[in-house]
A and B are shown apart, each in its own frame.
Chain A
Amino acid sequence: MKQILHILAKDARHLRIEILLSVAVNVAFALACPASWRAAIEMRAFTSGGAYSAFEAQILVRILELLVPASWWLLISNLIHDERLVGNRQFWLTRPYEWKKLLAAKLLFLLVFLYLPLLIAQCWLLSVAGFSPLFYFPELFFNLCLISGFLVLPLVAIAAVTSNFAHMTLVILGVLLSIVALLAMTGRINLATMTLPWEAGVDVALLVGLCGAVIAWQYSSRKTRASVLLLVAIPVLCFGLGEFIVPSQVFVGHSYSFSDSAAGAPAQFTYTPSGLDNPVSSAARLPREVSIQIPLDVSGVANGSVVMPDAIRATVESTGGFRWNSAWQLLHVRKITPDDKTARVSFDMPLAIYDRLKSAPLTVHLTMALTQAQAGGVTSVFLPAGGFSVPDFGVCSPQAGFNDPGEVGGISCLSALREPHLTQIEVVAHNKSSGCDPAETNFGVKNATWQGSLSSWPADFGLSSVKFPYGIGPMSGDYAGEVGSYLHLCPGTPISFTRYDVVRRAQAAVTIQGFQLPALTPGQRSVITNP
C-alpha cells in the first residue's frame, strides 16, 4: 500500500494542472446542467424570449459534455505515460516497481481525481433536481461502470499501448474512424437493423472484459504487440461474428419466443383489403430500397397491457417460385393498446427485388417481434402549484402555457440516472372556455402520452445523473381535434402515471395471399434511384 500511495502522491503532484483542468470542466458541466433543464422546459413551452437562451444553454452543455471526456483523455494519457509501458528506456523499468501496485496506483488516481469529482457532481445534480442521492447509490455506481466501460477503460487501454499523447490521439482518431466506417458499412448508422434487448449489455461486458484484460496483460508483461493485437483483433472478431458470420438476427428466436398458435401471441394480426387504408410503397431510409407499408387489423391485446412491435421480418414469394427473405428490421410503430384496431407495419426491400415482384400476385409472410408490457403501479396526483415527486418516474413541475405563460400548459419532469420506466401519463385537460373554475367537474378533454422505456438497466450511459425533460408538453386543441381551442391544466387537475413492465417477448405472424406490391409514384422512384 505504501508504494501505491507513494506513486499516487507523485502523480498527483506532477499532474496537478491536468487534475485542476479536469475538475474545472466537470464543475462547469455540473453548473451548466440545471440551466439547460430549465432551458429545455422553456423551449418546450415556447415562452417568449426563452427559446434563444435555451438554445445557448443547450449548446454550452453539449460542448462541456465533450470537454469532460477530452479532459479525461489528457489526464489519462499523462497519467499512464508517466510510467509508460511502451519502450525500453524508461527509468522506472529497472526500479523496484511492482506492476500490480503500479496499476493499483493508477486506478486509485482515477478513482480519486476522475471518478470522485464526477460522483460528487452527479450527487449534486440529483440533489438540485430534487432527488436524494443516498437513494440512488446503486444506480450511480452502475452509471460509473458504464462510463468506465465506454470511456475510461478504453482510454486507459489505448494509453497503455501507446507511448505519448500524440500517439494516443492518432490511435483514438483511427479507432473512431474505423467504428464510423464499420457502422456505415453495415448500415447500422441508418438504424435499419434491430438490436436485441441484451446486446448492449453484452457489448459493455465485452468492452470492459477486453479493456481490463489488455490493461492487466500490458502492465504485467509489457508485450505491446500482443496487447495491440488483442485490442484490435477481439473487437474485429466479435464485430465480424456479430455482423457477417453469425448475424445477431439468429438470436431473435431466443429472445422472442414463437408460439405455434396465433392465440399464443401478445396480439393477433390479420390483413383485410379495404378501400380506406391501402398499402403504400415509398422511399426507404437506405438508398435504392423501397419501403412497403401494410395496414393490419389488430386484436387480442390483453386488457391492461400494451404491445410494442420491435422488429419485422418479411418473406415474399411469387407464384413463379421466386422467394425473397428480409433480415429482421426495426419497426417504428406506435404502441398497440387493447383499444387499437389497426396498426401500420412496414419493411424495406431492395428496388431490384421490388421491380422483379411488383407485377405478380404474391404471398407475403410477415413475422413481428413483439414486446408485451403490463400495467403495474398507478400514481395519481392532483396537480399542485409547485413541484411534486412521482415514484419510479421522477420529479415534476407545472409548465408554463403555450400562449399564456400565466397558465399551466403541461407538466415537465426530470428523472434520475435513466429514462423513466415506461409510463402512461393520463390527464383530463380544461379547455379555454371552462377556465379553472373549482366547481367545474367536467374537465373536458382526456389526454394521454407515453414516456420512458422498458430498459431493465438501472442507469443510462451519460455524464449527467439527471435526464430531462419528460411529461406532458404544451397542450393545444390539436390533441382533441379542436384546433384553436387551447387546452390547459389547473391546480387540482388529476393526473395519473401508470407504470408498465415487460411481461414477455414473442413473435406473431401473418400471411397475406395474393398481395400486390403497391405502385411507386414517379416522384418516389426518382427519390429512390437518386437519393
Chain B
Amino acid sequence: MNPAILTSGLSRRFRRTIALDGVDLSVSEGAIYALVGANGAGKTTLIKVLMNIFRPTSGRADVLGADSTTLSGKAFIRIGYVSENQEMPDWMTVADLLDYCRAFYPKWDRSLEQQLVRQFDLPLKRKLKHLSRGMRMKAAFATSLSYHPSLIVLDEPFSGLDPLVRDELIEGLIERATEATIFLSSHDLAEIESFSSHVGFLEQGHLLFSEEMSRLTERFRAVTVTLERTSPLPANLPSAWLQPEAADHVVRFVHSNYSEQAAAAEIRSVFPSARDVTMDPMTLRSIFLAVAKSSRINVSSATAKNSAKGIEA
C-alpha cells in the first residue's frame, strides 16, 4: 500500500530559525495519524509544507503520490484541509460557503453535505463572521468533508473548542475515517488518543518517533522498582530508560522500549537488590511529557557539551 504522506529529509528554515529539520515521515493510507508536539515544535509548518503553502528548504514531501511542491488546483479535489487559524470568507453565510465550495468539487455529495449540516447543527443563514469559533470550525469541516476527500489534513482542529463541539467534530471525522486518511496535529492528547491509529511526536523540528498508537502504548511503561536498601542510581543506565529518579529505596523511570519478556530481566540485572517491580501502562499524555522532558534534557546537555567544547577550543 502506498503511503498517503511520505517525507524524506524534509527541512524548512525561516531565515535563521529551523522549523523542520530532516523529517522522515510515512503515513499509510487509511491511517488516522496524530502529530503531537509542543508549541513551536514545527507541526503547523510541516502541515503547510505538505499543503504546498510553504515550500521545503530541502528534502521532499509526497502527498497522495505527488510532490507537495506541485500541489495546486485540481490536486485539492482529493484533499480536505482545515486549520484553526484559517481565514474564511467571513462575508458569506454558511449556505453561501457551501454553495460556493460545491462548484469546485466534482464529487461533492449533497446528501452528505445535508447530513453534516444537520449533524453539526449549522445555521445556514448566518454569516461566518457572526459564528462562534466552534461553529466556524464546523462549517469548515462541512466544506472539507462533503466531497469525500482521500486525505483530510487538520491543523489543531480542536484548539479552544468546548468538549461538546470537540465530540461532534470527532464524531464527524471518525465517520469519514473508513474512506480517507486523516492527518491531524493537536495539543489535545487525551482526545486524539481515543481515535488515532498512529502518532508522531515532533520536537523542535525533529520527529522523535512515529508509529502506531497501539505499538507506542505497548512499548512505554512507567516502571517503579523498590529496592532492598537505599542506593544511588547506577551510571550507564540503558538509553531506553527515560527520566530515571531515585528516592530512598524507590527508583522510578519510563521504559521506552518495554517488552514483557526482556524488561524484568533487564531491571534485575541493573538492580540485583530489587524487591518489587511494577510496570504500568501509560497514557499518551504521560508518554508525551516523558519524551518531551527527556528530549529537552538531552538537548540541554548536548548544548552544554558543545559550549564546553567551544570554551576548551
Contacts and interface: CB of A to CB of B under 8 A. Distances in A.
Interface string B75-92: 111010101011111010
A94 B153 CA distance: 10
B53 interface: yes
A96 B86 CA distance: 16
Contacts of B91: 14
B85 A2 contact: no
Contacts of B81: 94
A98 B53 contact: no
B311 to A, nearest CB: 39
Nearest to B80: A94
B100 A96 contact: no
A91 B73 CA distance: 13
Contacts of A88: 48, 53-54
Given A96-B73, A96-B76, A98-B74, A91 B104 contact: no
A62 interface: no
A99 interface: yes
Given A14-B91, A88-B48, A95 B101 contact: yes
A95 B89 contact: no
Nearest to A2: B103
Interface in A81-133: 82, 87-91, 93-99
Given A94-B76, A96-B77, A89 B104 contact: no
Nearest to A89: B87
Contacts of B75: 96
Interface string A4-36: 001000100010000000000000000000000
B20 to A, nearest CB: 15
A379 interface: no
Nearest to A94: B81
A88 B85 CA distance: 10
Interface string A273-315: 0000000000000000000000000000000000000000000
A3 interface: yes
Nearest to B76: A96
Given A3-B103, A10-B100, A91 B87 contact: yes
A97 B83 CA distance: 18
A3 B104 CA distance: 7
Interface in B147-165: 153
Interface in B135-176: 153
A91 B89 contact: yes
Contacts of A96: 73-77, 104-105
Nearest to B144: A94
B104 A97 contact: yes
Contacts of B101: 95
Given A2-B103, A3-B103, A94-B53, A99 B72 contact: yes
A89 B153 CA distance: 14
A89 B100 contact: no
Contacts of A91: 86-89
A88 B88 CA distance: 12
B51 interface: yes
A165 to B, nearest CB: 15
A89 B86 contact: yes
Nearest to B75: A96
A411 to B, nearest CB: 55
A82 B105 CA distance: 20
- By CB atoms of chain B within 10 A, which of A3, A14, A95 has the most? A95
Given A6-B103, A89-B83, A95 B88 contact: no
A87 B104 CA distance: 22
Contact of B51 (A6, A93, A99): A93
Contacts of B79: 94
B107 to A, nearest CB: 11
Contacts of B85: 89
Interface in B44-101: 48, 51, 53-54, 72-77, 79, 81, 83, 85-89, 91, 100-101
A93 B53 contact: yes
B73 A98 contact: yes
Contacts of A14: 89, 91
A93 B76 CA distance: 9
A6 B102 CA distance: 10
B96 to A, nearest CB: 8
A52 B151 CA distance: 71
Contacts of B100: 6, 10
A8 to B, nearest CB: 12
Nearest to A14: B91
Nearest to B153: A94
Contacts of B74: 96, 98
Nearest to B84: A89
B48 A95 contact: no
B77 to A, nearest CB: 5
Given A2-B103, A3-B103, A97 B53 contact: no
B45 to A, nearest CB: 10
Contacts of A94: 51, 53, 76, 79, 81, 153
Contacts of A87: 87
A427 to B, nearest CB: 62
A82 to B, nearest CB: 8
A89 B76 CA distance: 16
A87 B101 CA distance: 21
A276 B105 CA distance: 87
Contacts of B53: 88, 93-94
B23 to A, nearest CB: 19
A94 B151 CA distance: 12
A10 B100 CA distance: 8
A40 to B, nearest CB: 44
Nearest to B128: A91
A77 B103 CA distance: 25
Interface string B247-284: 00000000000000000000000000000000000000
A98 B91 CA distance: 22
Which of A90, A91, A93, A97 gathers the greatest number of chain B CB atoms within 10 Å? Answer: A91
Contacts of A98: 72-74
A88 B74 CA distance: 19
B69 to A, nearest CB: 11
Interface string A37-61: 0000000000000000000000000
A6 to B, nearest CB: 5
Contacts of B104: 3, 6, 95-97
Nearest to B97: A91
A91 to B, nearest CB: 5
B132 to A, nearest CB: 18
Contacts of B89: 14, 82, 91
Contacts of A89: 83, 85-87
Contacts of A3: 103-104
28 contacts: A3-B103, A6-B100, A6-B104, A14-B89, A87-B87, A88-B48, A89-B85, A89-B86, A90-B86, A90-B87, A91-B86, A93-B51, A93-B53, A94-B51, A94-B53, A94-B76, A94-B81, A95-B101, A96-B73, A96-B77, A96-B104, A96-B105, A97-B73, A97-B76, A97-B104, A98-B72, A98-B73, A99-B73
Interface of A: 2-3, 6, 10, 14, 82, 87-91, 93-99
Given A89-B83, A93-B53, 18 more contacts: A6-B103, A14-B89, A82-B89, A88-B48, A88-B53, A89-B85, A89-B87, A91-B88, A93-B51, A94-B51, A94-B79, A95-B101, A96-B74, A96-B77, A96-B105, A97-B73, A97-B76, A99-B72
Q: Please list the 5 inter-chain residue pairs (A to B) with the smallest Cβ-Cβ separation, ordered nearest first.
A: A98-B73, A94-B81, A96-B76, A6-B103, A96-B104
